[in-house]
Structure 1
Amino acid sequence: MTTTPSPSRAGIRVASSPWGPDDQLGALNLLSPLAQAEVLARADGRHVYDLSVDYFVGMPSFQAAGDPAYQIYMSHTPAGTAVDNLNGVGEETNRHVCYSGDVVFMYTHTGTHIDALNHFGVDGKIYNGFTPDEHLGSRHWTKGGAEQIPPIITRAVLFDVAGLKGVECLPPSYAITVDDLRACLDSAGTELKQGEVALIRTGRMAYWPDKTKVLGNPPGLGLEAARWLTAQGIAAVGADQECIEVGPSEHEDNWLPGHCHFLAEAGVPMIELLNLEELSRDGHTELCLIAAPIRLRGASGAPLRPLALPLRPVSTADGGTS
């Protein structure tokens, strides 16, 4: 009789930051002005890829745990402003000046977004040992929030695992391995360096926004692959699905071990629900990534609009950029 082996234990612990007890940046400390200048100098501004998705009512979002769906409604309309006259300038002026306004209500981990370091912790602590008793107020964390994330400008490498396998999308719950990641680098003839961002393509965004295909049992990074990436000294990691890691968890002691490793153990922010389809279609592997979240103070995540520009090759003739 064949038996299924029981899941292993992840064994993840919260790390103290090598940048000191007050650090809230984690691996984003590895971003450098010199590297930013170099990657911007190589960026091909003729081609800009928007890696984000639209926000709209009915979009796929995390609701199973009780979080709200994305909502937008108008708080002011041109005709309503004339009728209400809330500004007191009178109907004639309000019909002349057509005023519209709206309100958005959503979970901060909706659509293309970045996870802040306070999003997940282990054993009652988040990255760098900050605790709820000391650093969580009535509304939000006072440490590790989305407002701490600086603009991310760095070289990014696309790990097109779906393309490597020759499939539109990896099968549900496929755990990406270290060998898969190495094979992607070998196929592209490139490398991943310290302070850069790894972008993982599973192919799931090809189905966006079909909720039945883009959420649940995601293919994604296995824990060993996640640890291999952080060992390379990445500043951040991103993927085209909802949690970057494979689901469900392969480890009995942790239902999202990848989140706990990246955020609490390695201090690496996570960018989720990236649209990487056009980059894959056009065969771009090395990119200049420019991304910045809304500065939501204390929030565990924030919407993000990442832009990717292909990189021109480094000239071997003069040692500079071409």
Structure 2
Amino acid sequence: MGQQAGVAVGTSEWGADDQLGALNRLSPTVRADVLARADASRVYDLSIDYFVGMPSFQGAGDPSYQIFMSHTPQGTAVDNLNGVGESVNRHVCYSGDVIFMYTHTGTHIDALNHFGIDGRIYNNFDVESNLGSRAWTKGGAEQIPPVITRGVLLDVAGQHEVACLPDSYAITVEDLEKALGATGLSLNEGDVAFVRTGRMSHWPDGSKTLGNPPGVSLDAARWLTAQGISIVGSDQECVEVGPSEHEDNWLPGHCHFLAESGVPMIELLNLEELAADGVTEFCLIAAPIRLRGASGAPMRPIAMALRN
């Protein structure tokens, strides 16, 4: 602590109405290339499943994941709410359910309205004109298009030869450069950069996967966005290191990625299989649920290694 983050709201280079930010860098040419080179013999699911009792942010006052059945085969036969009669309802076993959760539960993407500075989010949309009683009218999860592009894995835990980085380890620019150098790749404009800390090796033990996360320092976050990436992601809950190293901002990385640079963030990725198989360059296919105005949404990212 003691340092000042010095993060400011960014103005989009794509115009005053832009709500995509760095997602404008997604290229149809790159999309076609990665789909053509994708090795579909092995598909990596980078998401986690949702279940009652899963680690989440209830410690910060957010609701835990809940699922309730709204229809069961026996109940439908008794209630006959559909009016078709008991014999038909006993013949046709009907089940239905309802879920209730914080939009940042499990593997999810942060939309650009998730964090702002002094009442404004990315591209200077202010709360007075753009925040309704239920949701933002700008920068919501519904703005995020399907993502099909090149992904690069920066395995920082692997470079340190540990299963998981220590709590609150601040990943440096040098760490990222070494991890990237080990792949023999470069980060290109529009790429998605995934940073592995090893936290998912402990999932679903909430005592080891949430709280005091190892993650990117603010300098490392700025190095990543300087590469022209479209999205950043990590295998822990906030991409950045926690607690904050800056006395004026409790999540300066969020403010830099989202509010200053317009770079959405994917959190709680499962990168263990990718790392174990040495897959550092891949075709990424991912899309969030289109929750209008929401500050985040569940996402199921899929990866396939790229052929040369």
1:33 counterpart = 2:28: yes
Please name the residue that 2:81 is paired with.
86
Q: TM-score, normalised by structure 1?
A: 0.95
Q: Deviations over 1:63-104 (max 9, x none)?
A: 122110000010000000000001111101111111000000
Query: Shift of residue 27 of structure 1?
Result: 0.1
Question: Which residue of 56, 60, 66 corresponds with 1:65?
Answer: 60
Q: Deviations over 1:174-214 (max 9, x none)?
A: 00011011101111111111000000000000000001100
> Matched residues in 2 for 1:263 and 1:186: separation?
26
Please name the residue that 1:319 is paired with.
none
Question: Which residue of 143, 160, 163 corresponds with 2:155?
Answer: 160
Q: Deviations over 1:96-143 (max 9, x none)?
A: 111000000000000000000000000110000001110111110000
Structure 1 residue ranges (4+ consecutive) displaced by more than 6 angstroms after TM superposition:
none
> Matched residues in 2 for 1:124 and 1:11: separation?
16
Please name the residue that 1:270 is paired with.
265
> Matched residues in 2 for 1:175 and 1:309: separation?
29
1:131 counterpart = 2:123: no
- For structure 1, the residue ranges without an aligned partner over 5 or more in a row are 1-5, 314-322
5 Å matches for 1:5-16? 6-16=1-11
- For structure 2, the residue ranges without an aligned partner over 5 or more in a row are none
Q: TM-score, normalised by structure 2?
A: 0.99
Give percent identity, aligned residues only. 74
> Matched residues in 2 for 1:63 and 1:10: separation?
27
> Matched residues in 1 for 2:290 and 2:17: separation?
19
> Matched residues in 1 for 2:4 and 2:83: separation?
65
RMSD: 0.6
Question: Which residue of 217, 220, 229 corresponds with 2:215?
Answer: 220
Question: Which residue of 261, 265, 268 corresponds with 2:256?
Answer: 261
Question: Which residue of 290, 296, 310 corresponds with 2:305?
Answer: 310
| Residue identity matched to 1:248 | P
1:288 counterpart = 2:292: no
1:207 counterpart = 2:194: no
**SS in structure 2 at match of 1:216:** coil
1:298 counterpart = 2:293: yes
> Matched residues in 1 for 2:61 and 2:171: separation?
29
> Matched residues in 2 for 1:20 and 1:47: separation?
40
Question: Which residue of 215, 223, 239 corresponds with 1:244?
Answer: 239
Q: Deviations over 1:13-66 (max 9, x none)?
A: 001100000000000000011110011111101110000000000000001221
How many residues align? The count is 308
Query: Shift of residue 8 of structure 1?
Result: 0.4
**SS in structure 2 at match of 1:183:** helix
**SS in structure 1 at match of 2:87:** helix
**SS in structure 2 at match of 1:64:** helix
